[in-house]
């Protein structure tokens, strides 16, 4: 029954709710390429900080920027 629903496109999978951290995670805590959101009040209204994990072994720094709050 579930297979038929998946094939026909009728199955609905709700996305996981977005979690907002209260502060930046320590260096190395966010795996390479993974995104986390931080709501620490340092970005403009209606925005949060997005951190994308880097890789210290490959000398790739984490990316940090203020973005509109994801829905």
Nearest to 50 by CA among 61, 70, 64, 71: 64
49 forms bridges with which residues in the sheet?
38, 66
Contact present, 30 and 62 (Cβ < 8 Å):
yes
Per-residue pLDDT at 44 exceeds 80: yes
Please give the angle made by the CA atoms of 24, 62 and 32, to the nearest 5 degrees.
105
Q: What is the pLDDT of residues 12-39, one digit of tens each?
A: 787 788 999 999 999 999 999 999 999 9
What average pLDDT does range 52-60 have in this prediction? 96
User: Could you tell me the two tokens for 15?
Assistant: 């996305």
């Amino acid at each position: 029954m579930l297979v038929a629903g998946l094939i026909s496109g009728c199955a609905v999978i709700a996305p996981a709710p977005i979690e907002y951290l209260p502060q930046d995670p320590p260096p190395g805590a966010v795996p390479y390429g993974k995104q986390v959101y931080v709501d620490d009040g340092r970005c403009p209204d209606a925005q949060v900080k997005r951190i994308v994990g880097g890789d210290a072994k490959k000398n790739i720094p984490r990316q940090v920027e203020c973005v509109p709050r994801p829905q």
